[in-house]
Amino acid sequence: MKIKNNITVESPGRINLIGEHIDYNGGFVLPASIDKKITIKLNIIPGDICFIESRTVKKNFKLNLKKISKSKIQWENYILGVLHKLIISKKLKVKAFNCKIESNLPIGAGISSSSSLLCGLIIGLNNLNDLKLSSDEIIDIVSDVEHTFIGLKGGIMDQFTIVHGKKNKLILLNCQNRNFKYISSNFSPYKIVLLNTKVEHNLADSSYNNRVEECNEALKIINKKYKKYNYLVDVEEKILNEFKNTLKEKIYKRALFVIQENKRTLDSANKISELKFKEFGELMYRSHFGLKNLYEVSCEELDFIVDFTLDYKKVIGSRMMGGGFGGCTINLIKENFLDDFIKLISHAYLKKFNIELNVIHVNIANGVTIKINNEL
Ligand code: GLA
């Protein structure tokens, strides 16, 4: 049997058309993997010491496979967290390796550079060491590393998309049971464009995790009376409204957003399948205003971009994307207006915030891929 000892893993980022902050509430999401990615070169070496180098964050370190523990340097925890789960929690045998990381995925822009790195690394090590981990196990390990090593209590949308992404397809994913279906991502004559505010969010800070807790609080209080809901998205709006005066105003707003966003995602999947792109665009705007006013995860820069688009008929949808507090907006823009619009928004954004807007053109591409460079 041939043994692989040198591979290149390409792990994509993801976009999300709609269905924000509902993956951890058991909702439907509509993401896709993209052609911006992290490249991880892995080769096996003798001994127990691994050498890790990231050209993107311009850092390197070495680690001993026999002594894996959390580091004070957050970036190192991505690698250490993966090895901890594989070697200590799952008792799997991982051979020493060199790892070189490069990326054209902006960090902190809400396109999931963290899950992309984790998924790519695990899938690479799975392949090199023949660990026989299933896709579901890979998704669970990545979630676990994010929860315990990185400190982000996120859902499964990012990992699922990076593992299962498919060229020119959106994924309509039910986060309760991981059932999913692919939907065509052909929006012609409109194009998907990301506009990066360059306001970097750090989702591992408390704001994201607070939202998770606020949703859990809403569900707990509703279940004191109804005792039947496993997830917040399953509560009907009519039932939630019975609790309007019992729940703190903030908690009520969070729950209302979650329930409405889940409906919007299902509606969106139908509209896109029926090629009713303008109607889908309307739902994107509603999603944004819910994220801004009810869920309160937007920021001035994101709101500025979304509001700016409202004056242009050829931009049919715009909203903040990902965890929020910075990062990108996702926009649906008529192809023949793209260049003009980019000039207008870039100029206005620079004038308002003195920041050069970063425009990210995305194509929907496959999930993680592996190239074998050498076999012994
Ligand atoms: C981050 C998390 C995801 C999801 C989004 C918001 O990307 O990692 O699980 O909750 O935020 O939709």
Q: Say whether pLDDT at 179 is over 90.
A: yes
Q: Say whether pLDDT at 293 is over 90.
A: yes
Rounded to the nearest angstrom, the distance between the alpha carbon of 155 and the centre of ligand 1 is 6
Q: Tell me the angle at which helices 135-145 and 74-83 cross, rounded to the nearest 10 degrees.
A: 140
Q: Tell me the angle at which helices 113-128 and 157-164 cross, rounded to the nearest 10 degrees.
A: 50
Q: Which amino acid is at 241?
A: N
Cis peptide before 106 (omega within 30 of 0): no
Rounded to the nearest angstrom, the distance between the alpha carbon of 36 and the centre of ligand 1 is 18
Q: Say whether pLDDT at 253 is over 90.
A: yes
Nearest ligand 1 atom, CA 203: 1
Q: Say whether pLDDT at 33 is over 80.
A: yes
Q: Which of 23, 130, 136, 158 is catalytic?
A: 158
Rounded to the nearest angstrom, the distance between the alpha carbon of 357 and the centre of ligand 1 is 23
Q: Say whether pLDDT at 1 is over 60.
A: no
Q: For this structure, is 158 an active site residue? A: yes
Cβ 24 under 6 angstroms from ligand 1: yes
d(CA 146, CA 326): 20
Q: What percent of the chain has pLDDT over 70?
A: 98
Nearest ligand 1 atom, CA 152: 8
Cβ 319 under 6 angstroms from ligand 1: no
- Write out pLDDT tens, residues 133-174: 999 999 999 999 999 999 999 999 999 999 999 999 999 999
From 14, 23, 295, give the residue whose CB has the most ligand 1 atoms within 8 Å, as the site to mutate: 23
From 158, 160, 319, 321, give the residue whose CB has the most ligand 1 atoms within 8 Å, as the site to mutate: 158
How much is the pTM? 0.96
- Write out pLDDT tens, residues 155-165: 999 999 999 99
Q: What percent of the chain has pLDDT over 90?
A: 92
Rounded to the nearest angstrom, the distance between the alpha carbon of 111 and the centre of ligand 1 is 9
Instruction: Work out whether strand 49-54 and strand 97-103 pair parallel, antiparallel, or are unpaired.
Output: parallel
Tokens of 375: 């076999």
From 157, 284, 297, 320, give the residue whose CB has the most ligand 1 atoms within 8 Å, as the site to mutate: 157
Rounded to the nearest angstrom, the distance between the alpha carbon of 95 and the centre of ligand 1 is 32
Q: What integer is the mean pLDDT of 59-82?
A: 94
Between 87 and 58, name the one with better pLDDT.
87
- Which is it for the CA torsion 107, 113, 118, 122, positive or negative? negative
Q: Whose CA is nearest to atom 8 of ligand 1?
A: 154
- Write out pLDDT tens, residues 232-245: 999 999 999 999 99
In this prediction, residue 201 has a pLDDT band, given cuts at 50, 70 and 90, of confident
In this prediction, residue 272 has a pLDDT band, given cuts at 50, 70 and 90, of very high
Q: Cβ distance 115 to 158 under 8 Å?
A: yes
Q: What integer is the mean pLDDT of 223-230?
A: 96
Tokens of 211: 């939202």
In this prediction, residue 126 has a pLDDT band, given cuts at 50, 70 and 90, of very high
Contacts of 359 (CB under 8 A, 6+ apart): 193, 194, 195, 196, 342, 346
Residue-averaged pLDDT of the chain: 96
Q: Whose CA is nearest to atom 11 of ligand 1?
A: 323
Q: Cβ distance 21 to 295 under 8 Å?
A: yes
Determine the pLDDT at residue 206. Answer: 81
Q: Give the DSSP letter of residue 24.
A: G
- Write out pLDDT tens, residues 78-89: 999 999 999 999
Q: Whose CA is nearest to atom 2 of ligand 1?
A: 154
Nearest ligand 1 atom, CA 23: 10
Cβ 23 under 6 angstroms from ligand 1: yes
Q: Say whether pLDDT at 289 is over 80.
A: yes
Q: Which letter, b or e, does each residue of 243-254 get, where b requires 16 or more Cβ atoms within 10 Å of its Cβ?
A: beeebeeebbbb
Determine the pLDDT at residue 256. Answer: 98
Q: Give the DSSP letter of residue 58.
A: T
Cβ 154 under 6 angstroms from ligand 1: yes
